[in-house]
A and B are shown apart, each in its own frame.
Chain A
Amino acid sequence: MSTVTEQPSVPARWRERLRPRDDDHGGRGRLYRAETIILALVAVVLTVATVYDVVHQVHVSDRFHADLVSWAAITGRRDRHAIIEQDAKTYTTRDVVCGRTAASSRSAPAVVCLIFQGPVKAGRRHAFGGYYVLKSGRRKNRVKDVASQRYACFGDATAQGFRCRVTAPPGAPDKPL
């Protein structure tokens, strides 16, 4: 017949550790050093992440600036209200810049969209193609860049996966540029 000794629900060692104390004795001990190391690592990670993000933001802004400059150079127009769309599906550096065309009128406002991809070289980016979009909405001021609104794809737009209508929608200028 064996003797059964009652085990405490919480080991004595842990009970001692969890016992409330009146003062913190970990000030200069291993715990303090371990905490300090962890805090220093967290600080390094946050610092690196912040600096990386600033550099990332600068690169993105540079890219957008190059997009706008390239769009203006190709179309020969300056549009202060040009729109830049980023690739939100596959997160590449492919941007689409849409701005008013020369043939755009109040009754048939069309925008020309150019697809840019690749690195910034001498402040410019290479356009792979593009398409046209007729502005929609009651006041004809909304650019709805969806397949049903795009027409007359050119360059590598179709190869890049952009679907366009072959014919211009009613009221749209045939040769907007």
Chain B
Amino acid sequence: MGCEAVEASNSALEPQFGPPAAGGTAGRVTRQPFVPFSDDERRVGVRRVSRAPAWQLTVAAAFAVVMVASTAWIVVDAARGASIEVPRSPYTGGWLRSLPGGHLTLTVFLGCLLAFSGAYAGLLPLARRLPTRALIALIAVLYGLVFISPIIVSTDVFSYIAYARMGAVHGLNPYSSVPLAIRHDPIYPFVGIDWIAVPSAYGPLYTIFSYPFALLGVVGALWGMKAASLLGCVAVDWLTWRCAQRRGIDPKFALMVVAVNPLVVIYSLASAQNDFLMVALTMLAVYLTVTETGAGGAVSARGGRLHVNAREAWAGALLAAAALVKVSAAVPLPFMIVRRRRSSSVVGALAALGLGLGVAYALFGIHGVNLLSGVNRDSALVSYDGFAKEIAHMLGKPGVFPVDHTLLKGALVLIGTYLLLRTWRGYDWISASGWALLASAVTSTWLQPWYLIWPLPLAVIARDRRLLWGTLLVQALFVIHQLAPFFTP
């Protein structure tokens, strides 16, 4: 099938351990009849689709204007100062205060979020026929707006800076000390009240990555974190585009789904979340597997000698590195190993994990290598938006109880086991990884909007189209759940 056939034939050139596998390129056959790419299309990786008629372009332009206007409204109002959706923040974007506007109220924020989401939903069906340059221009404007914006929605970025300053400036171990220990530091007033007595839950690789930012001062560190988040987001977009090309999926549609998603732009990017770095590393690993050409190095068990495929090894290493940024990124690793059945990926993952944990132990001691402690702590929390809480309310319960946490963990283990079995039996490992990440977000009692962007790039390049529908539905439900204040006096 078009591009897929090219990949499959390349993959077959690869000597492998175990039965021959088409790796990331194999999996479910798409349910839609596939029209093969022409030679020209294959060369550029983009299907040539007739340009949209003028009325469609006009409608698309109107949707784009709605997206830009709603983002701009949020940004300008957020610059006026702290409010229910804008945490207290160091001085950034002060010049925006000269623009007309008021403090960002919940109603304005939700109205803009709803308008943005509606425009996004309207734009998606038109994505394939839009000019690529217009799409990239829209993304650039939206990202530029949220980059100059003050931090909104979450105080997480101040926690990143606080942990970095604890280590780089105050010589404290962020895995055994808490931000309360640096209460005289200028970043302390901005750390969320819920997190001042909590050690870092982030992976050691991210902590090491964040240390240089601490040396830039509070405002410099904040801009640095925003830039890192933006670059991570752009990397995710680019990798999604490239993976979609390799998998025979319209890259413009894939880019549109990921790059201008409301949870990506308004929630995650505007709050400078570090999830983009984790997802970028994951997508780079996926990209290496879907672009495998067999020229990466000798790969064989022939003659009893172990050869390592460089691309496979790097893919495994990158997934392990992503898990060292945020441990949730470990989810795709077993699916890749089970499906591709290459020892190179195991070797790469183990090498990266060994190296990362060794450095983490040297720098942070035993607390730094206990990657699951933060996950266990967060999984015991209950957020306003968790589906578990919503179902509990529907069943007449006041909330989530400890037994529910156990049940949810059990359900997640069952789902993971089933997906592993399906992957072993030939299911697309990228789809399985996306399902597992989506399931981990849905079963989490501590659901945050940026958790719902984890499966999104995988969903859009997955062979199983149900995953994309499922991910977008869950995101839509998240947005709907925010709307209660609209209907209250």
Do A and B interact?
A: yes
Least CB distance, B404 to chain A, in whole angstroms: 13
Q: Which of A23-31, A98-106, A159-167 contacts B (4 or more CB under 8 A)?
A: A23-31
A43 to chain B: which residues have CB within 8 Å?
Answer: 470, 473
Determine the residue in chain A with the shortest Cβ distance to B478: A50
Given that A20-B426, A24-B27, A91-B398 are contacting pairs, would A50 and B470 also be in contact in the complex, using a CB cutoff of 8 Å? no
B473 to chain A: which residues have CB within 8 Å?
Answer: 43, 46-47
Residue B326 CB within 8 A of the other chain: no
Residue B62 CB within 8 A of the other chain: no
B391 to chain A: which residues have CB within 8 Å?
Answer: 45-46, 49
Residue B74 CB within 8 A of the other chain: no
Residue A39 CB within 8 A of the other chain: yes
Residue B183 CB within 8 A of the other chain: no
Least CB distance, B447 to chain A, in whole angstroms: 12
Residue B102 CB within 8 A of the other chain: no
The CA of A17 and the CA of B21, in the complex, are separated in Å by 17
Q: Decide if B489 touches A62 in the complex (CB within 8 Å).
A: yes
Given that A49-B393, A53-B481, A56-B393 are contacting pairs, would A27 and B470 also be in contact in the complex, using a CB cutoff of 8 Å? no
Shortest beta-carbon contacts, A-B, top 7:
A61-B488, A57-B484, A21-B426, A24-B426, A49-B390, A53-B390, A91-B398
The CA of A88 and the CA of B398, in the complex, are separated in Å by 9
Count residues on chain A whose CB falls below 8 Å from chain B CBs. Answer: 34
Residue A6 CB within 8 A of the other chain: no
B487 to chain A: which residues have CB within 8 Å?
Answer: 54, 58
Given that A27-B28, A53-B394, A62-B488 are contacting pairs, would A20 and B480 also be in contact in the complex, using a CB cutoff of 8 Å? no
The CA of A49 and the CA of B389, in the complex, are separated in Å by 9
B51 to chain A: which residues have CB within 8 Å?
Answer: none
Q: Decide if B477 touches A46 in the complex (CB within 8 Å).
A: yes
Least CB distance, B29 to chain A, in whole angstroms: 5
Least CB distance, A30 to chain B, in whole angstroms: 14
Which chain A residues (147-164) contact chain B, with CB distance < 8 Å? none
Q: Decide if B488 touches A46 in the complex (CB within 8 Å).
A: no
Contact with A along B367-390 (1 / 0, CB 8 A): 000000000000000000001011
Residue B48 CB within 8 A of the other chain: no
Determine the residue in chain A with the shortest Cβ distance to B442: A46
B426 to chain A: which residues have CB within 8 Å?
Answer: 20-26
18 contacts between A and B (CB under 8 A): A17-B425, A20-B426, A22-B26, A26-B422, A27-B29, A39-B466, A46-B391, A46-B474, A48-B394, A49-B387, A49-B390, A52-B390, A54-B480, A58-B484, A58-B487, A61-B488, A62-B488, A62-B489
The CA of A1 and the CA of B413, in the complex, are separated in Å by 48
A22 to chain B: which residues have CB within 8 Å?
Answer: 19-22, 26, 426
Given contacts A22-B19, A23-B426, 18 further A-B contacts (CB under 8 A): A17-B425, A19-B425, A24-B425, A25-B426, A27-B31, A45-B391, A47-B477, A49-B390, A50-B477, A53-B393, A53-B394, A53-B484, A58-B488, A61-B484, A61-B485, A61-B489, A88-B398, A91-B398
B481 to chain A: which residues have CB within 8 Å?
Answer: 50, 53-54
Q: Decide if B393 touches A18 in the complex (CB within 8 Å).
A: no
Which chain B residues (382-419) contact chain A, with CB distance < 8 Å? 387, 389-391, 393-394, 398
Determine the residue in chain B with the shortest Cβ distance to A19: B425
Least CB distance, B215 to chain A, in whole angstroms: 38
Least CB distance, A95 to chain B, in whole angstroms: 14
Given that A27-B31, A53-B481, A91-B398 are contacting pairs, would A20 and B425 also be in contact in the complex, using a CB cutoff of 8 Å? yes
Determine the residue in chain A with the shortest Cβ distance to B487: A58
Which chain B residues (1-53) contact chain A, with CB distance < 8 Å? 18-22, 26-29, 31
A18 to chain B: which residues have CB within 8 Å?
Answer: 421, 424-425
B477 to chain A: which residues have CB within 8 Å?
Answer: 46-47, 50
Least CB distance, B202 to chain A, in whole angstroms: 29
The CA of A24 and the CA of B429, in the complex, are separated in Å by 11
Residue B252 CB within 8 A of the other chain: no
The CA of A53 and the CA of B487, in the complex, are separated in Å by 13
Residue A65 CB within 8 A of the other chain: yes
The CA of A36 and the CA of B465, in the complex, are separated in Å by 11
Determine the residue in chain B with the shortest Cβ distance to A50: B477
A50 to chain B: which residues have CB within 8 Å?
Answer: 387, 390, 477, 480-481
B29 to chain A: which residues have CB within 8 Å?
Answer: 23-24, 27
A25 to chain B: which residues have CB within 8 Å?
Answer: 426
Which chain A residues (91-133) contact chain B, with CB distance < 8 Å? 91
Least CB distance, B425 to chain A, in whole angstroms: 6
Least CB distance, B428 to chain A, in whole angstroms: 7
Q: Decide if B485 touches A20 in the complex (CB within 8 Å).
A: no
Residue B208 CB within 8 A of the other chain: no
The CA of A98 and the CA of B422, in the complex, are separated in Å by 57
Residue B242 CB within 8 A of the other chain: no
Contact with A along B433-447 (1 / 0, CB 8 A): 000000000100000
Partner of A23 from the list B22, B387, B390, B489 (CB cut-off 8 Å) is B22
B484 to chain A: which residues have CB within 8 Å?
Answer: 53-54, 57-58, 61
